Amino acid sequence: MSTPHGGRLVNRVLPKKNSEKIQQQINELPEISVSSELAYDIENIAKGVFSPLEGFIGEQDYINILSDKRLSNDLPWTIPMLLDISNEEAEKLKENDDILLTSNSRPIAIIHLEEKYRYSRNQLCTQVYGTKDPKHPGVAKVLGMKELLISGKINLIEEPPSKFSRYKLTPMETRILFKEKGWKTVVGFQTRNAPHLGHEYVQKTALTFVDGIFINPIIGKKKQGDFKDELTLETYKTLIENYYLKEVAVLAILQTEMRYAGPREAIFHAIVRKNFGCTHFIVGRDHAGVGNYYPSYAAQEIFNEFPDLGVIPLFFKSFFYCRKCGGVANEKTCPHGKQFHVEFKGTMIREMLERGSAQPEVMRPEVADIILKWKKPFVE
């Protein structure tokens, strides 16, 4: 399997004995409240999903990520992990303080404050998302951030509650599981949608090169119009149960929010799956994109900047069903005109819902049945 990014898996989970001791001191610590989304990323840091990060990044790493897409030690890293605070909160905090991080009034972690620093929201938007347009969901989030950033290593006290806990695996657990299955090569697949035949075709094509596939849907905050988390999970469970060999496929979630950062997020997604133990990673057309902010294959081209990434990208063109070929094809394999093609698009899913039936050229019937049972399958 792949070596964890940076050489080792991070573990910032407090042992139970230490956690109980901290619980007794909680009332004495200054406190910062974080969102549910940030609480899950704190858990991801603590459990090694975001290795080599041990906490929220400092100013030098922040500058390097924005300008060079790398940490200050030259290790590839494209999405800054940030904890923002207000000027008023900053006045109450001192460097070297231990600060309690809470979410929904629950203690989540301790951060050892190393730095407080200012940043430019416009620069962050331009460098990471390639736009300052507030209609971009990632930009909209940045524009709502507070004035300052703080850095420091974290220690997880308690996992944030999740209704998807039984679908979670840590990088340590996936590596043990892959080893038990005898997998030496594993391809990771990122998704935020219910599967159509194009997804299945890509996954099974990739499987011909490796020992197993790790299907790893993102569960978390998404934009309007994306499939709801529960539906994505239910459809993938059904697809795997009915159309995959049990010994070659593993399904587990990545609980984090979508950033919609296009090319930069494609690299970030590859690094995360590398930490889970993947040796290969599927990158499709417009990976992690939104609207028309990124060229169609920019998420594949960016991998040329990272020969030292440590995970092998598998690039796929856009797929469609060709009625003349009688199967899934792409522009390199199909000689027939567009009049024979059925495109795999979101509008197609909506049309399917409106008429109450699915085309067999587009989606497995078991998957379509699940979607059709949902009155509101999309994030509103």
Domain of 241, CATH number, reads 3.40.50.620
Q: What is the pLDDT of residue 104?
A: 94
pLDDT of 345 higher than 80: no
358 vs 112: which has the higher pLDDT: 112
Active site residue 121: no
Asked if residue 52 has a cis previous peptide bond (ω within 30° of 0), the answer is: yes
Per the CB < 8 A criterion, the answer to whether 79 and 69 are in contact is no
Q: What is the pLDDT of residues 58-79, one digit of tens each?
A: 999 999 999 999 999 999 999 9
Residues 44, 64, 175, 192: which is the catalytic one? 192
Distance from C-alpha of 94 to C-alpha of 105, rounded to nearest angstrom = 23
Q: Are residues 297 and 273 in the same domain?
A: yes
% of residues, the chain, pLDDT over 90 = 82
Question: In 97-246, which ranges are E strands?
Answer: 98-103, 106-112, 115-118, 148-156, 186-191, 212-219
* 102 and 122, same domain (yes or no): yes
Query: If you average pLDDT over residues 319-340, what whole number do you get?
Result: 92
Q: Do the domain assignments include residue 49?
A: yes
CA 314 to centroid of chain Cα atoms: 17
Q: How many domains does the chain have?
A: 2
Q: Which amino acid is at 190?
A: Q
Q: Catalytic annotation on 193?
A: yes
State mean pLDDT over 135-139: 97
In a domain, 32, yes or no: yes
At residue 336, does pLDDT exceed 80?
yes
Q: CB neighbours (10 Å) of residue 86?
A: 12
Q: Distance between CA 240 and CA 250 in Å, rounded?
A: 9
What tens digit of pLDDT does each residue of 153-174 get? 999 999 999 999 999 999 999 9
pLDDT of residue 285: 86
Q: Among candidates 363, 167, 162, which has minimal Cα distance to 251?
A: 167
Q: Is residue 198 part of a domain?
A: yes
First to last CA, the chain: 39
Q: Does the pLDDT at position 127 exceed 90?
A: yes
**Catalytic residue selected from 70, 121, 193, 330:** 193
Q: Tell me the chain's radius of gyration from C-alpha atoms.
A: 21
Q: Kindly report, residue by residue over 257-283, the tens digit of the pLDDT.
A: 999 999 999 999 999 999 999 999 999
pTM for the complete prediction? 0.95
Nearest CA to 232 out of 211, 258, 202 is that of 258
Structural domain ending residue among the three candidates 111, 136, 156: 156
Q: Looking at the structure, tell me whether residues 109 and 200 fall in a common domain.
A: no
The contacts of residue 281 (CB under 8 Å, 6+ apart) are 187, 188, 190, 269, 270, 273, 274, 311, 312, 313, 314
Can you give the CATH number for the domain in which 90 is found?
A: 3.10.400.10
Query: What per-residue confidence (pLDDT) applies to 1?
Result: 78
